[in-house]
Chain A
């Protein structure tokens, strides 16, 4: 009798548990929302080393990490004035839409995020995907000339000590405007090189051959910190006005050499 009871008890228990747990959901489901996007290209210029152009959407902007953005699974078609694309998204509020250029040489440059759709007050465009409105339609303008960096700024970064062991990355970045808010670090970025791995460091930063660099600075990210947590170690000062960021104007193919930047590790505690 006991054996029979134990057997029936276990069979009922296990079968019941299995069916209750499995009928509660079916696991991963299709993503319900869609961003319906038209990409409008200003010009038909495509750099030779283009691997592709991807659409990204961020729930938070600036995102804490690159992999917290939704990225189109493949490159949008290139070579046409207007490209229609769709990106599957879960329900929710989104704070940015942009385009990311990938080159064939895999040297990533955060500035390869070459287009960000702007809304009111020059802030990134925000939108919602909801059960009532699962499809959001919009467009974005794009110009691949922004990734054509055919001028160079060359020089040396001097540090007041070795690179700390808790470093995720140390970078030199060129900006069209001095960033004031966290969001500005991505919006005004023209070029950024994350390969600083020794002190002092000789750099050669590619920048656009038109436009003006109004802020050239050295940044530091600690282990586990995100893209929203840049620490500025030092910047290129106007030689005639110390304490003021220098402005740099370059032409296509030009190289400006002899730039010296002093990076102070004490600034990481700010």
Chain B
């Protein structure tokens, strides 16, 4: 207790002493090609908790910095990150530092927050990550977040379940082995653990970060096989109206005997609109979205409405408050499986009343208090309410599942070179239906992590977390999640990383207690289901051949204990979630990026090429057999060719044939080959897009009896006013 008191006294003493003698950095950020000033550029003082964004005139100001020499970085989506190595700050003086940023077609090493809960450049992280920028999201013009993520290296979807290097497989929607965060706040359904990938319009997204491997040390339960963090856009410095409209039409099936309705009636439309503005210290962003689709199958119809709002207030002393609300309402048909292999777009007539409704409200409030350049505190409270209804033709007999959480986190630089992140997270989940009764559980997890910059080119990360998970009136579990990481840059273009970390996931209420009958299958409760845990090992090498071309290789291994999988008991016609004592997924991932302006056939153009290959060896070690619903190989290739106001893109996705499935092993299984192409034409503040998805009209079923969409044509229009 005495020691704690000393620490508190020390902290406040240091606040006072630093506040007394400090200096300021100011500057301007401009575009290299046009010379225009750039707004909303992030400028970070490396090794501190301080940073700023540029205003309407491209200016930034960072004050209250203790005298010393700092490294300053400026980053913005669509531009290469630029840095100034040695910026000297003197007491009561202002030093001016200007940046000139170069446009790029590809993001090479953007700033990320998922790796360490503080901002850092991607190539300085000790873990493997992928980043999908808002530019990339605009480029793909997705109808949901799934379409924005599915071309990221090492990621594939089975149904709507994300697999990060094969993390989840397919668990019939209940229990994702990854954690979904919205601005760092968990947003999974508290009863099923399911993700609502339609919870916000794609227009709202600034960046999606994907952490590959266990991340429970900082992020807690569910970060077993990876973490996805969706970062929403902040209010613009000046009033900005963004809109996006697209209309599409599905083509005929690849085989005429598969036609089940007039193909001309199968279409979709999406409209998103967003307005944001800063009124002095108050920033406001409001967005609305709508998506309507007839679907490409019987029972494939889909309707969604979104309403989101983000408000922040920047106090003069640097304190920032943010409030966020996202509401989504979805009504859709529920296509469980096809009628037969020769009627793949139809369902059995007895299943025609299978519908699903989802109402979700996600709220959070955050306060960030920067005491000085070496100490800041972030606090947040959040609530996620999701309501499922009418599943499998049942009446709306689900009650809202409510998850409430809070977190307090301090970022502290006790001595120069160390960034200590210390905090405590609390989460309470509850859900009730007539199918599993009333249940609730909570976990509380204190954590600490030290990011130690041993030298300019060497960073060590050490972290530890303890979680107490308790199902109210039931099981109690204590979980420990340590983590260690190294990032070493022996030379400027070369970086090596190594990380060892652990993850865990407590079984959801649905996995433990659901009892219901679906289409002759009885889902059986398993109250004794244990939490699953993992250890993830990752060794990576990132190399720049030149400033326009890099590659990254990582070797990874994820060891799982008590992995929770759906067990299909065909003899008794029942499904039950059970633990697999030991499982392992290991492999290698290679990715490369290349982008540079060239002159081809007399035309100046900027090509961007990004390719990745992931190999995964996945085994259920108890039976020495492949894990279900996981391919061995994944590959992506993305090309962008920009010339003037024309931008042509071609994307390719590959997944090898899924080796092991649960329900219909006799169904034909094939590898995945998907090609999407788009042509964007910019005209003033507008961009017109003509796109075609699944260009080769390839027929692929990632899980049995569920074909992916056939070829579709899309016309899009987006703009900024």
Contact = CB atoms under 8 A, between A and B. Distances in A.
B611 interface: yes
- For chain B, the bracket of interface size reads 35 or more
Contact of A8 (B339, B570, B600): B600
Contacts of B698: 22, 26-27
Nearest to B257: A30
Given A3-B596, A4-B600, A17-B637, A194 B572 contact: yes
A241 interface: no
Interface in A170-208: 194-195
A194 B571 contact: yes
A4 B639 contact: no
Contact of B650 (A14, A88, A227): A14
Interface residues of A, number: 46
A122 interface: no
Interface stretch (A102-110, A113-121, A144-152, A251-259): A102-110
Given A3-B548, A27-B700, A18 B609 contact: no
Contacts of B664: 67
A112 to B, nearest CB: 10
A65 B257 CA distance: 31
Interface in A236-254: none
B654 interface: yes
B549 A68 contact: no
A58 to B, nearest CB: 10
A108 B572 contact: yes
A223 B580 CA distance: 12
A132 interface: no
A14 B652 contact: yes
- Identify whether the interface residues of A are mostly helix, strand, loop, or mixed: mixed
A4 B696 CA distance: 29
A162 interface: no
A18 B675 contact: yes
Contact of B258 (A30, A59, A90, A106): A30
> Which of A6, A23, A25, A90 neighbours the largest number of chain B CB atoms within 10 Å of its CB?
A6
A11 to B, nearest CB: 6
Contacts of A194: 571-572
Nearest to A105: B517
Interface string B595-609: 010111000000101
Contact of B611 (A7, A14, A30, A169): A14
Contacts of B668: 28-29, 31, 90
B520 interface: yes
Given A73-B348, A74-B339, A29 B699 contact: yes
A30 B517 contact: no
B67 interface: no
Given A26-B698, A74-B348, A67 B666 contact: yes
A21 B700 contact: no
Nearest to B570: A66
A11 B638 CA distance: 10
Given A18-B652, A30-B258, 13 more contacts: A8-B600, A14-B609, A14-B637, A14-B650, A22-B698, A28-B700, A30-B342, A66-B571, A67-B665, A74-B350, A88-B340, A194-B572, A224-B623
Interface of A: 3-4, 6-8, 10-11, 14-15, 17-18, 21-23, 25-31, 51, 59, 65-70, 72-74, 88, 90, 102, 106, 108, 110, 168-169, 194-195, 221, 223-224, 227
The 7 closest A-B pairs by CB, nearest first: A27-B699, A73-B340, A22-B696, A28-B699, A108-B573, A66-B570, A31-B341
Interface of B: 254-255, 257-258, 338-344, 348-350, 517, 520-522, 548-549, 568-573, 594, 596, 598-600, 607, 609, 611, 623, 637, 639, 641, 650, 652, 654, 663-666, 668, 670, 673, 675, 696-701, 707
